[in-house]
Copies of this chain bind each other. A is one copy, B any other.
């Protein structure tokens, strides 16, 4: 069996490894535009800030390492043609054109940074961050910069803003919506992080879209919807990702509202073509509708499913909840499921409670406050959870991810058993306190 995988990101390279684990004989080829595979784009902010020493450290494997597994990795190559009738692809490497045939093809083409259609995005000093080479450019430019604007206050935007601040730049984080992390957090929770960022010396400018970048050759300022212009030596566009769909379209794969439509085996509408990662749509666990899940974990998990599908094993990629976590400075925050406003937009009448608890017994040194918000539907079924603290957020999000996946209500989780030690948590876990409080709203 000849398997070609287009794209060497988290989805593509993991698909190659996972197929190899299940089939010792398949001929596996990964073709990627990039000059690296198996690196962690989520780690770029931490290389910028200096927490991780070098970009080399976040490259976990080299193409040669895959050679040992008998996986052929062709880097710096662009797949230009996909003929699904004849099951061939054409790619260009070093100016030469090559043709290959496949039995099974995996599209793991990822996405490209969305560049807002405004004047000045081509100026020097304007960056987006998708891969290591973007990261290196930012790192180099930042050495001679004093002020930076990061626009788009999703996770990457916030993490980059914080990293640049740690390099002692004067940083402004901007977002066209009136809050940061709009996809995952309610405004009141997001504002806790905004206030922390401000305390740490980051300027936060909300509620206005970026409308133009100005400068003479290199960027000098960014202007916003309300006419405000802010001077900056560099601008990072963290304004989202657009799935790369050219090859899928060429092959005739069905495309949904945002990206490639796949079934639960990660198969597209075209036979023998599969797709994973940022270029596909996923099912939403709560409503069952289609959604987009731009998470490395989703891509890695899909790669396991696609490997099982291609090798003829039972496989089913389950709907997603887009569980996420991040840490900026001392503050860890995470979320899973729907925000209050997303629920409302989807005709769910949310029942919501927010509590403040502690991460350890009250009397134990260094107990940290923990803010927890629980969102239920009108029957008490848990549909969302948001947590902010200085510690121990991620795993609580995971517990709630499991609870939502299992369709549990706040009543089910009230008085649930949790582990306890005064050094580690409160005798009644913060999550239980939160679900007990939201339960009261149903009395």
Contacts and interface: CB of A to CB of B under 8 A. Distances in A.
Interface string A42-77: 110010000110000110100000000000000000
Given A363-B40, A363-B60, A395-B396, A402 B427 contact: no
Contact of A419 (B10, B401, B420): B401
Contacts of A394: 392, 395, 419, 421, 424-425
Interface stretch (A82-90, A212-220, A258-266, A315-323): A315-323
A305 interface: yes
A363 B57 contact: yes
A336 B398 contact: no
A408 B405 CA distance: 12
A337 B383 CA distance: 28
Interface stretch (A126-134, A227-235, A294-302): A294-302
A442 interface: no
A326 B51 CA distance: 30
Nearest to A52: B363
A396 B405 CA distance: 16
Given A42-B421, A43-B422, A364-B52, A10 B416 contact: no
Contacts of A408: 406
Nearest to A293: B417
A334 interface: yes
Given A60-B363, A296-B427, A406-B406, A419 B398 contact: yes
Q: How many copies does the complex hold?
A: 2
A264 to B, nearest CB: 12
Contacts of A242: none
A430 to B, nearest CB: 10
A381 interface: no
A429 B300 CA distance: 11
A397 B300 CA distance: 24
A399 interface: yes
Contacts of A399: 395, 398-399, 402
A418 B401 contact: yes
A389 to B, nearest CB: 11
Nearest to A316: B415
Given A320-B417, A394-B425, 7 more contacts: A42-B420, A52-B363, A297-B419, A301-B417, A304-B415, A325-B425, A327-B423
14 contacts: A43-B361, A46-B423, A51-B364, A60-B362, A296-B420, A297-B428, A321-B417, A326-B421, A392-B395, A395-B395, A402-B403, A405-B417, A406-B406, A406-B408
